[in-house]
Structure 1
Amino acid sequence: MPSYLPASDPDFDAWQANFLSYANSHLAQLGLMLGDLIVANTRQLTWNGAYAANVAARNAAQAATQNKDAARATLESAIRALTQRLQASAAVDDAERAALGITVPDRTPSPVPVPTTRPVVKIDTSQRLQHTIHFADETTPTSVRKPKGVAAVEIWTKTGGPPPADVSQLVFLATDTRSPYLTVYEGDHGGAAAHYMLRWINTKGQPGPWSETATATIGA
């Protein structure tokens, strides 16, 4: 059965004030005498003092917290401005940065991974004597984003005849940083087959594995 006494202090304070005010002013109607309320009235005085002190302390703590937060914000602003100046100064070395507790730049270049995935290739032949070469990574074939650490794609080709038996039959065509790549052919290539193989290269120029051969006819 739930208690008739409110759980929260503010609600309890209002409730007890009403309760004892009514009881003290209606002694006869309630069948009470003044002595019956001595204990409750005395303890109400103790409660009133304790509750008022608690409210004042909470208000003071809230004000102190706000003052503290404001003081910290202004101090942080001053420190950040000074730190920015120190970080840009040639007179400050990394040992001094460490002693100050500010960020020490990482002087070791992060290793660049060699590509491990392959491009997937689609050739648009809708324009005569042109091939528009679309490429994407095999792990994200619907996105034009390159894999992490990849700078560009190398496009190699073989024009005419059967697909290349190995990469030694390929001729370098281009390096492209964003799909698609457009290649234009002379008129005497019309009707010939063009074969393409692509591979990713990282920012150090290290290549990844070859794509599957993509073949398309050069429209005359």
Structure 2
Amino acid sequence: MAATRTKTSFIPQAEGNFDAFARQFVNQVASDPAEYEMSAERVKALQTQLAEWDKKYAAAVKARDAAKAATESKDEARQQLEETVRSVAKLIQANDEISNAARDAAGLPVHKTTRTPVPVPHTFPTGTVIGTDRLELTLMYSDVATPTRKAKPYGVRGCEVYVAVADTPPTDPEDYRFVAFSTRTPELIRFKSDDGGNTANILLRWVNTKGETGPWSQVISATVPAV
């Protein structure tokens, strides 16, 4: 069967196809030189170069197959070694008796053993009443240092909410009553029926994960809807 030819050249580009084509071509011309009006010298050159090609092509195929086998063997060896290295490294990392210097010398990561201490909050929340309903106020709050972001400062667990219902905001935080510990903004604050129509004054402050409190916020005032 004739070898497949490309559209741009009668000689195939792929080496396997080229090998089949060259063998067909040389053997056909050599079998009947007269038919192709070919001299013995040219036929001899074709046969000699085909033989050289056969030798080099066979060597290349053998080397390619050997390289493929070597690569597969190498990959398998790496996988086995990597699994063992991970297993041994896991044992080393879990052993408190092994120093960090020894871990570092072995090329292993040295993990921090101390946490960054949680600071006492030094900023305060700022808030805005964003919604009202009968005997309810919806409070949106954020940190005064980052008023456009909802994220709490580092180490802060939540926000304490205190309320004083009075026409004039009390100046002493002791005059405010605790109503909620909020961990997510916004916070819904509910009031008693007697508070309807009166002014609610709200104070806020951050509390960290250790229970330490930060400074008080500025007073946020809003009228409690009676209806």
Extract unaligned runs of 5+ from structure 1.
none
For residue 84 of structure 1, the aligned residue among 72, 85, 90 is: 90
Match of 2:20 in 1: 14
TM-score w.r.t. the length of structure 1 is 0.71
Match of 1:75 in 2: 81
Higher relative contact order (CA 8 A, sep 6+): 1
Match of 1:129 in 2: 135
Q: Say yes or no: does 1:25 pair with 2:31.
A: yes
Q: Deviations for 1:173-195, whole angstroms, at most 9, x for unmatched residues?
A: 54422233232212221112335
RMSD, matched Cα: 3.9
1:157 is displaced (CA, Å) by 5.2
| Counterparts in 2 of 1:108 and 1:36: CA distance versus 1, 3 Å | same
> Counterpart amino acid of 2:154?
G
> Counterpart amino acid of 2:103?
R
Q: Deviations for 1:24-64, whole angstroms, at most 9, x for unmatched residues?
A: 23422211133322112111111111111111111111111
Match of 1:189 in 2: 195
Q: Say yes or no: does 1:149 pair with 2:154.
A: yes
Match of 1:59 in 2: 65
Match of 2:5 in 1: none
Instruction: Quote the Cα distance in structure 2 between the aligned partners of 1:43 and 1:167.
Output: 106
Q: Secondary structure at the match of 1:12?
A: helix
Does structure 2 retain, via aligned residues, the 8 Å contact 1:153–1:198? no
1:3 is displaced (CA, Å) by 5.3
Extract unaligned runs of 5+ from structure 2.
1-7
Match of 1:178 in 2: 184
Instruction: Quote the Cα distance in structure 1 between the aligned partners of 2:186 and 2:201.
Output: 16
For residue 96 of structure 1, the aligned residue among 86, 96, 102 is: 102
1:117 is displaced (CA, Å) by 11
Instruction: Quote the Cα distance in structure 1 between the aligned partners of 2:78 and 2:221.
Output: 66
Q: Which moved more, 1:48-57 or 1:169-178?
A: 169-178
Q: Which has the larger radius of gyration?
A: 2
Instruction: Quote the Cα distance in structure 1 between the aligned partners of 2:215 and 2:9.
Output: 74
| Counterparts in 2 of 1:30 and 1:190: CA distance versus 1, 3 Å | same
Q: Secondary structure at the match of 2:38?
A: coil
Aligned residues: 212
1:148 is displaced (CA, Å) by 7.4
% identical equivalent positions: 31
1:80 is displaced (CA, Å) by 1.0
Q: Deviations for 1:91-146, whole angstroms, at most 9, x for unmatched residues?
A: 111111112221111245458798999767453323x2222334567545xxx6x2
Q: Which moved more, 1:108-117 or 1:86-95?
A: 108-117
Instruction: Quote the Cα distance in structure 2 between the aligned partners of 1:55 and 1:109.
Output: 60
Q: Secondary structure at the match of 2:130?
A: strand
Does structure 1 retain, via aligned residues, the 8 Å contact 2:33–2:43? no
